[in-house]
Structure 1
């Protein structure tokens, strides 16, 4: 069906990630404390992603320590085959520690002890693995589940996840099916949305200025709430990554029937753009449906009219409207 412009201007909601906190699943269950910055992200994050990557461990007999510098090999397995890399870095004995040792099997931590044999601090192998290059499988996080952690500052995402039933199921499945993998949770904070506008002065749209001005004024005066914005982010990312453990939003999104989009349809938005950037974190996200990237951009066409050329369409001349590539369409447009 030929697409045509309905208005001179089309609008899109644009939401980007900002701060993040990554936490191995075993730390979620622990009673440890976080620094002030990490605690703030945990309390104010909006979305969490449960992810899987290869599990790391120390190769016990390779450890050397001269009191200041630690040298050790770190191992991990891909399809049962062991891979390893060497680590060398400063690791002084602090806070009264006098000795250190690799923890018992599966050797996932190097622990320091004081004169009485009490634990002072630990260095997990998973922390060392963060320093690997982009090409390492240890830098690749498979997205298994996406959820909403709408923080209000009274209870952190860390606290809520301790009793999260889906996280417990993923952990149980992982131990059984993927014994060489570990589960981590990536908590992400998103910035308030911005308004994106496209205008096509070459189209033959006959709307007068009052129509265009009223649409624009309505969008500016009726802002989306924070809760509505995060509902959009959650739904868009689920539709984009298609995580194995999610059900809602994987197929019937976008659609005018989806509650989280009600305000967007009322204001006549025709597009959503949701970005999640893990470049600073130095990890790549992927799923069965999406390739490895440190910056994923989810473009969602929410036009509710099949003949309408919405936000993501460009005019190639002579009335030829073409949609940009890699754009998710409304469920009613897709072939059954």
Structure 2
């Protein structure tokens, strides 16, 4: 029997900043660089992922003013094919004198070397794929999630790169792919999950009368509004939700956890004891212009008519930069909604809203996740 305990129910919404991306070779350099570490402060959750290898074509490339131009090599129809690219150099590449720069591509095609009047700057191919103009398809850009983890020291100073630099599962992934899948490249996404807010909604089965009395209802609402979760708890919750959602091949815990029934896990109790009944974790890859996927989860996909409408609007003169960024973010954001109770135990908005006389439940999230509901920051 479905039970509606309170008029309003709450959940914790954790959402990340946009990720940084590294190659495996970057991990050891970054872990020892004070400047790089300063840039990655707070990056405690990491995703190890792979995709079909993309390379620079060593045969055709040149500099055209501030632009590095050439061809990428990508596997299509069982063979390597050229895809033209155009990448704008930054001041860090040309030091204000693009006409004095030179360019060379590594023998293996994984990076380009820009020479300027001060020194040299390396550009990895994944940077051009993420930031340059090229004709790669969404599928070719996709990253397949292999493992999700966290690195957080006792005092919060440890970074994900510290954990990865001596991580046995990471070494196993590298060994497996070097031996069995040399055609694939490994990339690491580093996320900060420093943002959180409390969601409060009246959703759920609207045909049911709450069992709580007026005093209990008011006290419950006040408790949800005041609930706070420290950084360590937020990171643990985000990591568990991501693993449960993507079910990566190299993760062994949380892949099949039933969040609605498992009360033994300490990180779940931390949110349930605050009288919250839901967890929402959101992450985006819009700055990298790629989607995430796994064997268990397809990439974010909008229906074709909506996709065409959005793309048409994005490309129109009427679309300003803020609207364009918002739409692209929606197309490359995963939103993981996890009820922490069963409907027969305690119905809530994360089970979906059921209107009187209607057996179907309407998903709580149907639009922009940060504008669709009431929240407490």
- Bin for the TM-score computed over the shorter chain: 0.7 to 0.9
Picking from 208, 214, 218, the partner of 1:203 is 208
Q: Assess if the C-alpha contact under 8 Å between 1:78 and 1:180 holds in 2.
A: no
Q: Assess if the C-alpha contact under 8 Å between 1:20 and 1:41 holds in 2.
A: no
User: Does 2:41 match 1:43?
Assistant: yes
CA offsets 1:97-123 (integer angstroms, 9 cap, x no match): 87543322x2322335689xx972223
Picking from 60, 65, 69, the partner of 1:62 is 60
Note the 1:155-194 alignment, pairs <5 A: 155-194=158-197
Q: Assess if the C-alpha contact under 8 Å between 1:12 and 1:311 holds in 2.
A: no
User: 5+ unaligned residues in a row in structure 1: which ranges?
Assistant: 327-336
Q: What is the rounded CA distance, in whole Å, between the counterparts of 1:168 and 1:95 in structure 2?
A: 40
In structure 1, the partner of 2:320 is none
Secondary structure of the 2:292 match is strand
Q: Assess if the C-alpha contact under 8 Å between 2:18 and 2:286 holds in 1.
A: no
Secondary structure of the 2:210 match is coil
Secondary structure of the 2:287 match is coil
User: Does 2:100 match 1:101?
Assistant: no
Inter-CA distance 61–262: structure 2 relative to 1 (3 Å threshold) = same
Higher strand share: 1
In structure 2, the partner of 1:24 is 23
Note the 1:233-312 alignment, pairs <5 A: 233-254=238-259, 255-293=262-300, 294-303=332-341, 306-312=344-350
Deviation at 1:251, TM superposition (A): 0.9
Secondary structure of the 1:236 match is helix
In structure 2, the partner of 1:6 is 5
Deviation at 1:241, TM superposition (A): 0.7
User: 5+ unaligned residues in a row in structure 2: which ranges?
Assistant: 301-331, 366-377
Work out the number of aligned pairs and report it: 321
In structure 2, the partner of 1:217 is 222
In structure 2, the partner of 1:322 is 361
Inter-CA distance 324–88: structure 2 relative to 1 (3 Å threshold) = closer
Higher helix share: 2
Inter-CA distance 35–282: structure 2 relative to 1 (3 Å threshold) = farther
Q: What is the rounded CA distance, in whole Å, between the counterparts of 1:276 and 1:225 in structure 2?
A: 19
Q: What is the rounded CA distance, in whole Å, between the counterparts of 1:136 and 1:322 in structure 2?
A: 31
Deviation at 1:94, TM superposition (A): 5.9
Q: What is the rounded CA distance, in whole Å, between the counterparts of 2:212 and 2:101 in structure 1?
A: 79
Q: What is the rounded CA distance, in whole Å, between the counterparts of 2:286 and 2:101 in structure 1?
A: 38
Q: Which moved more, 1:73-82 or 1:242-251?
A: 73-82
Q: What is the rounded CA distance, in whole Å, between the counterparts of 2:296 and 2:357 in structure 1?
A: 35
TM-score (norm 2): 0.74
Secondary structure of the 2:270 match is helix
Q: What is the rounded CA distance, in whole Å, between the counterparts of 1:54 and 1:76 in structure 2?
A: 8
Deviation at 1:93, TM superposition (A): 6.4
Q: Which moved more, 1:249-258 or 1:309-318?
A: 309-318
TM-score (norm 1): 0.82
Inter-CA distance 208–134: structure 2 relative to 1 (3 Å threshold) = farther
Q: Assess if the C-alpha contact under 8 Å between 1:18 and 1:189 holds in 2.
A: yes
Deviation at 1:173, TM superposition (A): 1.0
Q: What is the rounded CA distance, in whole Å, between the counterparts of 1:263 and 1:35 in structure 2?
A: 34
Deviation at 1:320, TM superposition (A): 5.2
Deviation at 1:323, TM superposition (A): 6.6
User: Does 2:94 match 1:122?
Assistant: no
Alignment RMSD: 3.3
